[in-house]
Amino acid sequence: PYRIKHNQSSPDRWLPFQNFQGRSFHQTLRQRVITQTGIEWNLSPVGRITPKPWREE
């Protein structure tokens, strides 16, 4: 049987480029979702967190 010997350095050579492609794609997608969709994020906690009334014991 004839077997092809795979180059062990081939996957390691392309790994950083593929990692960069994946990160840039997801960052672009995330920016598009944040800016182009009509979602209001309301990250400020003002008005959502109200202090409990003080009790004297």
Tokens coding 32: 């598009």
Of 28, 27, 25, nearest to 17 (Cα)? 25
pLDDT for residue 38: 79
For 39, phi and psi rounded to 5 degrees? Answer: -80, 130
Distance, in Å, from the CA atom of 22 to the CA atom of 45, rounded to the nearest integer, reads: 33
Domain boundaries, the chain: 8-36
Distance, in Å, from the CA atom of 10 to the CA atom of 4, rounded to the nearest integer, reads: 14
Summarised one tens digit per residue, pLDDT across range 32-54 is: 888 888 777 777 777 677 777 88
Tokens coding 25: 């794609």
Distance, in Å, from the CA atom of 38 to the CA atom of 35, rounded to the nearest integer, reads: 8
Summarised one tens digit per residue, pLDDT across range 2-19 is: 676 666 556 666 777 878
pLDDT for residue 11: 64
Question: What is this structure's pTM?
Answer: 0.44
